[in-house]
Amino acid sequence: MEFIVCFERALASQGHKELMADHVDNNEKPPLPFQTPMQHQMGRIYTREILEMFEREDFRSLLCLFELVEQDETHCRYKVSERVNLGVTRMKELVHDKDANKAYCSCKGFEF
């Protein structure tokens, strides 16, 4: 019986947290650090949690430099330099397959 009571309290607490998050998403405008049109659009569409994830990735993209290394009829290959910390840079390679309309990263972190 004690388990059921604890479980019901946990469900009620989770429901309350979700309700409060919905209230914030529906009634408060999120702070937008750069005020870009893309951020305004994302702020209208997504929850605050997802918007914060997007903003972190958007900011990290500003620290990347892209250099076209090679291009032919079917592929483009880019060298990507990501500044991690002062004096620390990560190098990655990005390949865009034009025929398949897909991109691949040497870090295997994404494919789209």
Output the pTM of the full model.
0.51
Residue carrying structure tokens 């005020």:
35
Q: Among 71, 78, 80, which Cα is nearest to 98's?
A: 71
Q: Among 53, 30, 55, which Cα is nearest to 43's?
A: 30
32 band by pLDDT with thresholds 50, 70 and 90: low
Contact in structure between 97 and 87 (CB atoms under 8 Å): no
Beta bridge partners of 104: 95, 111
53 band by pLDDT with thresholds 50, 70 and 90: confident
**CA 57/CA 64 separation, integer angstroms:** 11
Mean pLDDT of 29-58: 77
